[in-house]
């Protein structure tokens, strides 16, 4: 693929150039420091490839997203979430038998060890469910300490039990008894039942809501080297176990610049509505960067045209709310704000478009999922992606511990005894 030339201090260095399968080109700087004494500086990693990966392809300029080569639009229309989990983690679509075995395993491992239920007693009643998710993920390692010994079984355990933990976290927050998994249901239906059923009443999963959740989980399933997936790889690179790495990824997702944005979008829309619904004032604040206020659910590091997931979710929000007979003023407000923002030079010049989280919260609301659970829903969707990255990294030969360097800007040498 040729080389790139670097000239510094009168000397010329040749650096290898590598090309990915979709024509992405990168200068390989792995030997840069050894050869030149220089390092690269890229805080935020905007121009840094942290790895090679065969899981997800994004072309942010053209709004393309593919899992293992399959376009997100085709997957969203045709697949079940469990099929997507298999595809992401194992690289190929499961055949009939493989899918039957995988789905069966995913179903049979949904129960939590009875003693793990006791952990929930200790959390504060007002705990954010993301805090519970993160600590329960690492607590799994206390029950399955040798996760490196049988990786496939632990992958299944993690995927299967995460939704039980998520539903229990919600039940804990509203003081209702836990509902145990029912294993003749699909992944999304089983979760919905554990969330919304109560022991004294029959509960049937609404197929519209089940399908909506299937779509949301699929659209969140992977997004290459985002903050939480990179955290999963970073922690995993020290050979920390699967559960510890996942707990770290959950924490990374929690922040409002990442997965926490879905909660913040709804809070933003609710506040605007409570103030009379005039979003112009709010957009002006955003444009003037008053108090650092941002239009939540807008902007993306990679997408500079449109986020295909947001487009799918905007259409889905219309369809699902219509099917459910829900008329949510937040949906109309969101659409109006999107249109207004997209005609404002501030957003146009900076290529700021709605991201996956601009419309997801509106669908979750219609499904009856409380705002504080939105980011937990993101965890359930993103888990297969995190697992796929962790597994890919652990299987690649010669992966080194992730350990960036820095440009030190602090004090020069000073002597302790010289200071008064």
Which residues are near ligand ACO by CB under 6 A?
44, 226, 257-259, 261, 286, 294-301, 350, 352, 355-357
> How near is the Cβ of 382 to ligand ACO at its closest, in Å?
9
Closest CA to 228 of 62, 43, 390: 390
> How near is the Cβ of 408 to ligand ACO at its closest, in Å?
24
Our CB check for ligand ACO shows the closer of 13 and 346 to be 346
Our CB check for ligand ACO shows the closer of 266 and 352 to be 352
Q: What span, in angstroms and rounded, lies between the C-alpha atoms of 321 and 365?
A: 10
Give the chain's end-to-end CA distance (angstroms, integer).
59
Find the helix packing angle between 151-174 and 96-108, rounded to 10°: 50
In sequence order, the 6+-apart residues with CB closer than 8 A to the CB of 49 are 26, 225
Kindly state the tokens that stand for 3. Answer: 């080389």
Tell me the H-state helices in 206-294.
207-219, 227-236, 242-254, 261-274, 279-287
Our CB check for ligand ACO shows the closer of 109 and 300 to be 300
Residue nearest to ligand ACO (CB): 299
Our CB check for ligand ACO shows the closer of 258 and 314 to be 258
Find the helix packing angle between 374-395 and 151-174, rounded to 10°: 170
Phi/psi at 46 (nearest 5 deg)?
-60, -25
Our CB check for ligand ACO shows the closer of 212 and 252 to be 252
Rg value, the chain, Cα: 23
> How near is the Cβ of 394 to ligand ACO at its closest, in Å?
24
Our CB check for ligand ACO shows the closer of 295 and 330 to be 295
Tell me the H-state helices in 10-95.
32-36, 72-78, 81-90
> How near is the Cβ of 337 to ligand ACO at its closest, in Å?
11
CB 116 within 8 A of CB 139: yes
> How near is the Cβ of 398 to ligand ACO at its closest, in Å?
30
Our CB check for ligand ACO shows the closer of 193 and 258 to be 258
> How near is the Cβ of 247 to ligand ACO at its closest, in Å?
19
CB 378 within 8 A of CB 261: no
The helix (run of H) or strand (run of E) holding residue 58 is: strand 56-59
Closest CA to 54 of 400, 301, 404, 395: 395
Q: What span, in angstroms and rounded, lies between the C-alpha atoms of 217 and 295?
A: 24
**Active site positions, annotated:** 300, 357
CB 212 within 8 A of CB 151: no
> How near is the Cβ of 410 to ligand ACO at its closest, in Å?
25
Residue 192 CB coordination number (10 Å): 24
Closest CA to 181 of 110, 84, 101, 273: 110
């Amino acid at each position: 693929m040729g080389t790139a030339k670097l000239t510094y201090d009168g000397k010329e260095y040749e650096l290898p150039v590598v090309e990915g399968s979709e024509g992405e080109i990168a200068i390989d700087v792995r030997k840069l420091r050894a050869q030149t004494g220089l390092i690269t500086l890229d805080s935020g990693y905007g121009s840094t490839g942290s790895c090679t990966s065969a899981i997800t392809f994004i072309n942010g300029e053209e709004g393309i997203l593919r899992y293992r080569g399959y376009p997100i639009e085709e997957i969203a229309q045709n697949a079940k979430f469990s099929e997507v989990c298999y595809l992401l983690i194992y690289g190929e679509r499961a055949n009939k038998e493989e899918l039957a075995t995988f789905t069966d395993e995913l179903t049979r491992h949904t129960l939590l060890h009875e003693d793990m239920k006791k952990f929930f007693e200790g959390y504060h009643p007002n705990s954010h469910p993301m805090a519970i998710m993160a600590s329960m993920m690492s607590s799994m390692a206390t029950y399955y300490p040798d996760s490196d010994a049988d990786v496939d079984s632990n992958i299944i355990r993690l995927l299967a039990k995460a939704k039980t933990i998520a539903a229990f976290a919600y039940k804990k927050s509203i003081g209702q008894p836990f509902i145990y998994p029912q294993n003749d249901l699909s992944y999304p239906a089983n979760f919905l039942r554990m969330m919304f059923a109560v022991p004294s009443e029959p509960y049937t999963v609404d197929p519209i809501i089940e399908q909506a959740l299937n779509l949301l989980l699929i659209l969140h399933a992977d997004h290459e080297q985002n903050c939480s997936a990179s955290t999963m790889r970073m922690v995993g690179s020290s050979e920390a176990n699967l559960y510890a790495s996942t707990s770290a990824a959950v924490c990374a997702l929690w922040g409002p610049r990442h997965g926490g944005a879905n909660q913040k979008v709804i809070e933003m829309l609710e506040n605007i509505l409570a103030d009379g619904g005039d979003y112009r004032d709010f957009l002006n604040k955003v444009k003037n960067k008053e108090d650092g206020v941002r239009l939540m659910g807008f902007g993306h590091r990679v997408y500079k045209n449109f986020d295909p997931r947001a487009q799918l979710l905007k259409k889905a929000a219309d369809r699902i709310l219509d099917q459910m007979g829900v008329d949510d003023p937040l949906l109309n407000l969101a659409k109006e704000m999107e249109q207004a923002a997209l005609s404002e030079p501030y957003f146009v010049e900076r290529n700021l478009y709605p991201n996956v989280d601009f419309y997801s919260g509106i669908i979750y609301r219609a499904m009856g999922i409380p705002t504080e659970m939105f980011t937990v829903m993101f965890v359930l969707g993103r888990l297969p992606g995190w697992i796929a990255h962790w597994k890919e990294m652990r299987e690649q030969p010669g992966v080194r511990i992730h350990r960036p360097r820095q440009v030190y800007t602090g004090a020069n040498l000073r002597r302790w005894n010289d200071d008064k």
